[in-house]
């Protein structure tokens, strides 16, 4: 890693551990996309050294609504760990987060270690299930503001996720109504087709990117396809629910 950025993984990791925001790293050094993914990997390795285990990957900015909300216009991907998972109907401890936002997602479950290119033709061999999901993103940067390289280095704001009940992968998820409720009030609504035209495309992109970046995707790992709508800030005592037509509901309570 370049000398002027070696400290960045630890700076990001401290921001996670202390739930304390930091200035954008791109203000301190010019970052390339390659630098940003290197920082992401090194920062995640620090979490792994504390016992966290890779539980999957997530894609970001797969919908126009998200790109426009954040002013960033490229597909990104980040890593998920077991510690980020909250059981369905479980609680999010707001003290551990800086300024958490919730977004509605579609999740996929791998039934087999990935040992070759996964495409439309063989995807059934590798993916068993699909579910409604909530992703909690929590940018480590002040005011949730960043460049493309900043957000990639920051593991694409990944911080927690909730999976609804797994449904069979054979359900066609290309055109499903999606609603997000906070305290029973509708706060966002959209359609799964907003996710790269079909969340299946996002899943196939995830396989491609994992291969490109040498990430081993294993049985039981999860892939989050990206939000279908803009994200909303959540606060203590909120109950968040994401409902995807045919897939069901994922909920969490903010404590
Ligand atoms: C970056 C993460 C984007 C998505 O689903 O588009 C993302 C952010 O908005 O902070 O997870
Ligand atoms: Mg997301």
Q: Are 241 and 109 in contact (CB under 8 A)?
A: no
Looking at every residue in the chain, the average pLDDT score rounds to 97
Q: Which ligand is nearest to the CA of 157?
A: 1
Give the Cα separation of 204 and 171 in Å (integer). Answer: 16
Distance of CA 105 from the midpoint of ligand 2 (Å): 7
What's the whole-number mean pLDDT along residues 7-27? 98
Which ligand lies nearest to the CA atom of residue 153 in the structure? 1
Q: Give the per-residue pLDDT at 37.
A: 97
**d(Cα 4, Cα 55) in Å, to the nearest integer?**
31
- Tens-digit pLDDT profile for residues 128-163: 999 999 999 999 999 999 999 999 999 999 999 999
pLDDT digits (tens, 9 = 90+) for 32-45: 999 999 999 999 99
Q: How many CA atoms lie within 13 A of 251 on its CB side?
A: 12
- Indicate if the pLDDT at residue 20 is higher than 90: yes
In percent, the amount of the chain with pLDDT more than 70 equals 100
Nearest-atom number in ligand 1 for the CA of 224 is 5
| Residues in contact with ligand 1 (CB, 6 Å cut-off) | 58, 60-62, 66, 70, 103, 135, 137, 139, 151, 156-157, 226-227
Which pLDDT does position 71 carry in this prediction?
87
Ligand 2 centre and the CA of 3: distance in Å? 31
Tell if the pTM clears 0.75, that is, is over it. yes
* Ligand 1 centre distance from Cα of residue 69 (Å): 10
Tell me the per-residue pLDDT of 82-122, one tens digit each, with 9 for 90 and over: 999 999 999 999 999 999 999 999 999 999 999 999 999 99
From residue 67, alpha-carbon distances to 136, 158, 202 in Å are 17, 16, 15
CA of 150 to the centre of ligand 1 (A): 12
Q: What is the pLDDT, as a whole number, of residue 49?
A: 98
- Each residue's pLDDT tens digit, 201-244: 999 999 999 999 999 999 999 999 999 999 999 999 999 999 99
């Amino acid at each position: 890693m370049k000398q002027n950025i070696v400290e960045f993984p630890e700076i990001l990791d401290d921001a996670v551990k202390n739930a304390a925001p930091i200035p954008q790293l791109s203000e301190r050094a010019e970052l390339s996309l390659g630098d940003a993914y290197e920082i992401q990997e090194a920062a995640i390795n620090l979490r792994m050294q504390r016992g966290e285990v890779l539980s999957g990957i997530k894609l970001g900015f797969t919908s126009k609504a998200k790109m426009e909300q954040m002013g960033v216009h490229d597909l990104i991907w980040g890593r998920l760990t077991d510690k980020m998972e909250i059981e369905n109907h479980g609680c999010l401890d707001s003290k551990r987060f800086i300024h958490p936002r919730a977004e509605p997602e579609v999740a996929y479950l791998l039934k087999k270690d990935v040992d070759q290119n996964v495409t439309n033709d063989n995807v059934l061999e590798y993916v068993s299930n699909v579910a409604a999901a909530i992703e909690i993103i929590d940018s480590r940067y002040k005011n949730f503001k960043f460049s493309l390289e900043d957000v990639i280095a920051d593991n694409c704001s990944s911080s927690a996720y909730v999976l609804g009940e797994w449904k069979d992968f054979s359900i066609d998820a290309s055109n499903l109504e999606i609603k997000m409720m906070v305290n029973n009030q509708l706060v966002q609504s959209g359609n799964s087709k907003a996710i790269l035209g079909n969340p299946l495309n996002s899943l196939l992109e995830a396989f491609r990117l994992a291969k490109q970046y040498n990430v081993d995707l294993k049985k039981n790992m999860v892939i989050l396809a990206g939000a279908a709508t803009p994200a909303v800030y959540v606060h203590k005592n909120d109950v968040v629910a994401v409902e995807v037509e045919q897939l069901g509901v994922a909920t969490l309570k903010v404590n």
